[in-house]
């Protein structure tokens, strides 16, 4: 099962990463812009299987 942050956020009416970042900060979870971008865009690394 693949978890899609953008889809989960969209179901809650959140359309921008910056909006989610602000909402999380209001609740005490500060996420850097770089980390939020990575979370919003999806996985940036791929693992090779043997």
* 26 φ/ψ angles, rounded to the nearest 5 degrees: -60, -25
For residue 13, what pLDDT is reported? 96
Mean pLDDT of 21-45: 88
Over 90: is that where the pLDDT of 49 sits?
no
Domain boundaries, the chain: 5-41
pLDDT band at 2 (very low <50, low <70, confident <90, very high): low
Mean pLDDT of 20-45: 88
Using CA atoms, how far apart are residues 16 and 13, in angstroms rounded to an integer? 9
Over 70: is that where the pLDDT of 12 sits?
yes
Using CA atoms, how far apart are residues 16 and 38, in angstroms rounded to an integer? 13
């Amino acid at each position: 099962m693949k978890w899609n942050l953008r889809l989960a956020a969209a179901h809650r009416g959140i359309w921008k990463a910056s909006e989610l970042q602000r909402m999380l900060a209001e609740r005490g979870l500060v996420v850097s812009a770089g980390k939020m971008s990575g979370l919003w865009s999806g996985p940036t690394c791929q693992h090779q299987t043997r």
